[in-house]
Amino acid sequence: MNFQDTVKGSLLEGFYPAGWDMERIDACCDENYRAEERQAFWNPEFQPVRCENIQEFDTYMGHEIAMQIKNARDRKEKLAMILPVGPMGMYKWTVYFLKQWKICCDHVFTFNMDEWSDGEGNTLAADDPAAFQNAMRQAFFAPLGELTVPEQQRNFATKENLPTYEDKIASLKAEGARLVLVYGIGRACHIAFWEPHFAAEYGEEEWKKQTYRIGAKLHPLTVEQNAITSFKSRTTLVPCRANTIGPGLFLQADYAIGGCDGALGRGMQWQGMSFLMTLRYQPDIWVPSSFIPTLPGRLFYLKELEGPLVAECN
């Protein structure tokens, strides 16, 4: 007895994204698979990296981000970075390494990938505790001190600024800058807040051209994910909409640094299925994160997420 056997006529019929093939998803989670088994559609330079614990995860990922900043500095090049708020633990290590190496970030241009918003795209005040702008300032920009990214080179996903990302990134790339994507993977397999149900509006080629969305409707899985991970289970605090970049930007990345740290303790987790779908589903616009392995880069993950994903009472 399982989901497929019992979903018809239940309250979950029609709840999950219409384009999801549940049997295919189940096959992605087969206990015989291991995350680092290469798939034919992966970019030759894409590599999952297994981490034993959260401390190792945060350190490795922070080092990877810092190295991209250092390498660009050494090459005397500008660097464009699309950054997330979630995961977050890696930023303290990025700051640590950059300070140890004394790397000034005045060559770095940051583009935060998303922000909570209302139906019109209006965002929280920059100093609101729940605002992504505030989270980035507290975790990354302020701790860097005099080495930090100049304020005029920090971009946030406000209604006014998000539409300018495409041209700003294009100008930087025209000057020789590399674009580095830093990302997490959502429960609904989103990248940024680019949700799976947006696929109903496009063919694949048009979907790949979309650079942003203002006041995007979030999937209920995304709201509940954030209630668990950011709002101490309090669903009533989670906005139901957000401004977000789209695949027209994140698929431009010259290098991508990902992190999956969705283990909760006592054997519980929320991210294993999404992680394995990303690696094995094969590119499909109904599963936005399934395009990630087509990009060069490294995806750091906690070992619990690779399975086996089997029933267990906790």
Residue 310 confidence (pLDDT) = 84
Instruction: Look up the CATH architecture of domain 46-306.
Output: 3-Layer(aba) Sandwich (3.40)
Residue 42 confidence (pLDDT) = 98
Residue 89 confidence (pLDDT) = 97
Q: Could you give the CA distance from residue 135 to residue 48 in angstroms, rounded to a whole number?
A: 27
Determine the length of the chain: 314
Residue 148 confidence (pLDDT) = 98
Question: What residue ranges do the domains of the chain occupy?
Answer: 46-306
Q: At what angle do helices 90-101 and 54-74 cross, to 10 degrees?
A: 40
Residue 285 confidence (pLDDT) = 98
Residue 21 confidence (pLDDT) = 98
Question: How does DSSP classify residue 146?
Answer: G
Question: Which residue ranges of the chain lie beneath pLDDT 70?
Answer: 314
Residue 33 confidence (pLDDT) = 77
139 within 8 A of 41, measured Cβ to Cβ: no
Q: Could you give the CA distance from residue 95 to residue 286 in angstroms, rounded to a whole number?
A: 35
List of E strands, the chain: 46-51, 79-83, 108-112, 114-117, 154-155, 178-184, 212-217, 241-245, 255-260, 263-265, 268-269, 297-302
Task: Kindly tell me the number of DSSP H helices and DSSP E strands found in the chain.
Answer: 10, 12
Residue 311 confidence (pLDDT) = 80
